Amino acid sequence: MHLDGSSDSAFGDVLDVFTQILEQPEQRGAALCVQIAGETVLDVWGGVLDRHGEQLWQRDTLINIFSSGKPVSAVVLLQLVAEGRLQLDAPLAEYWPELAAQGQQQVTVRQVLSHRAGLPAVFEPLAPEALYDWPRMIAALENTAPWWAPGSAHGYAPMTYGWLVGELIRRVDGCEPGAAIAQRITTPLQLELYLGLSEHQLPLVGDVMRMKGALTDPAALRLMQAMGKAPQGMSAKAFANPSSMMTSTNKLEWRQMQQPAANMHGTARGLAGFYTGLLQNKLLDSEMLNTMLQEHSLGPDLTLLTSTRFGLGCMLEQPEQPAASYALGARTFGHPGAGGTLGCADPEREVSVVFITNSLGSNVLMDPRAQKINAMLKGCV
C-alpha cells in the first residue's frame, strides 16, 4: 500500500487509524493533515487517485472537498462585514435588488449563512446544463419564493448557498468568488485551495467515486426515501435541481466553475491551514470569529431531515447526536463534505484537522472514517 508524508511520533496512533482506513477494500485514496498551534504534526497521504488504480496519490493531489469549502466563502462575507461593506442583518436586496421579487425582501445575510433564509432549493425545473450557467441559476433563485418564512426555521442549502454567497461577493467585492477567496485567504496564507481550477491545476485532480456497500446511515436512508417519494419536494430539489448536481463532480465544467457551496478543490494541508489561520486570527479578529461560531440554528433541519447545528457558514458540534459529532471537543467547528471529507478546528486544543478522500461514503453529516481519526487525535493532545 502506498503511504507518504511526514508524521510526529507522538501521533503514531492517529497514523495507524489513517493507515487502517487506506487498507479497507473499498478505499482508494486519502490524505490527512493535523496542525496544532500552527505546527504541522501530521501531513500524510496514500492510495491511488484515479478510477483505474494506476496513479499514486501525491503531495499536491487535489480533491473536490464539496461542502467542506462552505466556511471559506463565509469568511469572505464576514471580512466584508468587518470592513463595513456588508451588514449581517441587512436584507440581501440592499445589495442585490432583483432578489426582492418573490417575498424574499426580508432575507438577511445572517439568515443565508445560518441556513435560515428559506431558499435551500430552486423551485422551477432546470435543465442539466443550467448548473454551469451562473446568470441562469441567479435568475432561477430570484424567481423562487422562500419555502418557509425566512428566519422562522432552518434547512440546509447544499447548493443554493453557493449562488447566494457567490452573488453577494460579486456585487459587494466586485470580483468572482474564486478571485475573492484567492486574494483574501488562500494567497496570503499560501494555501492549496482553489475555487475554479486553472489549466495547470487540472492534471493534479483525483477522480471521486462512490464506495460500494450497504447504505447504513439512518439519516441518509431517510433523506433518500423522502427524495424518492417526493421528487418535486424541497429536499429533492435542493440536491437534484438541476439533476446534474448529483452527477458532475468528475467533469471538466464542474472543476472549472466557481460554485462556493460545492466545488472547491484542495489538499488536506490547504484546508487545515485555513482553520489554523482562523484560530490565529489571521482571517477574522476574535470578535468576528466569535460571531461566526455563535449558535444560530439548532434542531430539525427541514432539508436534511435530521438535527443540525450551525453558526455562520460552519457546522457546530452536536455531542448528543453521534452522527453529527466531530468526536473532538465541545467547541469544535467546521464542515463535512459529501462522501467523507471533513475539515474542522477545536479552539480549546488549538487543533486543525482535515481528512479528504476520493472514496465517497453515504453519510449525511460526519463520516465514520474522519470521526475515528478525531477520536484517536483527541487522546493524543
Give the domain CATH number at 331. 3.40.710.10
In a domain, 89, yes or no: no
Mean pLDDT of the chain: 95
pLDDT value, residue 30: 97
Give the whole-number percent of the chain exceeding pLDDT 90.
89
Q: What is the DSSP letter of 319?
A: T
In a domain, 314, yes or no: yes
Q: What is the mean pLDDT of residues 26-55?
A: 95
In a domain, 118, yes or no: no
Closest CA relative to residue 215, chosen from 363, 38, 369, 97: 363
Q: How many domains does the chain have?
A: 1
CB 377 within 8 A of CB 353: yes
In a domain, 30, yes or no: yes
Local confidence band at 215 (pLDDT 50, 70, 90 cut-offs)? low
In a domain, 342, yes or no: yes
Neighbours of 98 (CB within 10 A): 14
In a domain, 97, yes or no: no
Neighbours of 138 (CB within 10 A): 18
pLDDT in tens, 216-232: 788 888 888 888 898 88
pLDDT in tens, 172-192: 999 999 999 999 999 999 999
Which range of residues forms the domain containing residue 281? 3-72+181-378
Local confidence band at 214 (pLDDT 50, 70, 90 cut-offs)? low
Q: Which three cell numbers stand for residue 355?
A: 481528512
pLDDT above 70 (res 263): yes
pLDDT above 70 (res 336): yes
Residue 322 CA neighbour count, 13 Å, CB half: 4
Residue 109 CA neighbour count, 13 Å, CB half: 25
Local confidence band at 51 (pLDDT 50, 70, 90 cut-offs)? confident
Q: Whole-prediction pTM value?
A: 0.97
CB 280 within 8 A of CB 273: no
In a domain, 371, yes or no: yes
In a domain, 243, yes or no: yes
- 331 contact partners, CB below 8 Å, separation of at least 6: 293, 317, 346, 347, 348
